[in-house]
Structure 1
Amino acid sequence: MPKQAIKTQNAPQPVGPYSQAVEANGFVYTAGFGPQDPATGAVADSVGEQTRQVLRNIQAVLAERGLTLDDAVKSTVHLATLADFAEFNAAYREFFTEPYPARTTVGSELANILVEIDLVVAVPQA
């Protein structure tokens, strides 16, 4: 199956030449999502609330393909401040169940946001 873009109006729209997510070879790869509310563009102040919004944005994209966060196998997290890790981690935990996806968390320079997350998601085989 050739790669195929996955799109939804229920998550922030790309601001450049990239897709919200792409499916290829039995996996879905999401873009790095920020914490913008897709309806208002608003961004919460705390890393916990930003994390929750990022994961709701990713959930909306995955739902277009009938997938959930339970199908995630790998996440990459960028935090503007690694000192925010505990608050981020508590919010992140609310969205995932065991077995948790593998995760890499790094400190990154982000543009006016505190967290960005992308996922690799396995498409269940029929």
Structure 2
Amino acid sequence: MKRVVSTDDAPAAVGAYSQATTNGDLLFTAGQIPLTPDDELRADAPVAEQTELALDNLTAVLAEAGAEPTDVLKVTVFLDDITDFDEMNETYATYFDEEPPARSAVEAGALPKGVAVEIEAVASLE
């Protein structure tokens, strides 16, 4: 059975989606962008800082579901410019330094609210 996961420690959903959903075994997060929980958009910040904020949001959603970064099985990173990969990756690696999850990183062309990075994940709750 599907359960919606929501926390005030990450930005609220601003459309017809949930911060995350779970069936009790797997957690699927919505894409997290560099938006603070109090709606401060950091679209003009360097990519490293945007990545950090997106991953902080992701970590907060994971925590609400009883998970942590070590439970993440798969991450998808969307970049508005793939040449920002190295800068994103350097920050990303500090969140997933041991036994990192599978990951895809793709250039999306345009991301919500003009940000440079959006990150979503699938985690195990077992």
- The answer, yes or no, to whether TM exceeds 0.5 is yes
- 1:115 matched to 2:114? The reply is no
Structure 2, unaligned runs of 5 or more: none
Q: Which whole-Å CA distance do the structure 1 matches of 2:33 and 2:2 have between them?
A: 24
Q: Which whole-Å CA distance do the structure 1 matches of 2:56 and 2:7 have between them?
A: 12
Contact 1:20 1:30 in 2 (8 A): yes
Correspondence for 2:84 = 84
Q: Which whole-Å CA distance do the structure 2 matches of 1:42 and 1:78 have between them?
A: 17
Number of residues of Structure 1 aligned to a counterpart in Structure 2: 123
Matches within 5 A, 1:44-83: 45-83=45-83
Query: Match of 1:94, SS?
Result: helix
Query: Match of 2:58, SS?
Result: helix
Q: Which whole-Å CA distance do the structure 2 matches of 1:34 and 1:40 have between them?
A: 11
Query: Match of 2:95, SS?
Result: coil
Deviates more, 1:42-51 or 1:67-76: 42-51
Which has a greater percent of helix?
Answer: 2
Contact 1:62 1:68 in 2 (8 A): yes
Q: Which whole-Å CA distance do the structure 2 matches of 1:79 and 1:42 have between them?
A: 16
TM-score normalized with structure 2 length: 0.93
Moved over 4 A (4+): none
TM-score normalized with structure 1 length: 0.93
Structure 1, unaligned runs of 5 or more: none
* Sequence identity (%): 39
Contact 1:70 1:97 in 2 (8 A): no
Shift of the alpha carbon at 1:42?
Answer: 3.2
Residues 93-120 of structure 1 show CA distances to partners (whole Å, capped at 9, x for unaligned) of 0111321100011001213100001000
Supply the RMSD in Å over aligned alpha carbons. 1.2
Residues 39-58 of structure 1 show CA distances to partners (whole Å, capped at 9, x for unaligned) of 25131511100000001001
Query: Match of 1:32, SS?
Result: coil
Correspondence for 1:32 = 31
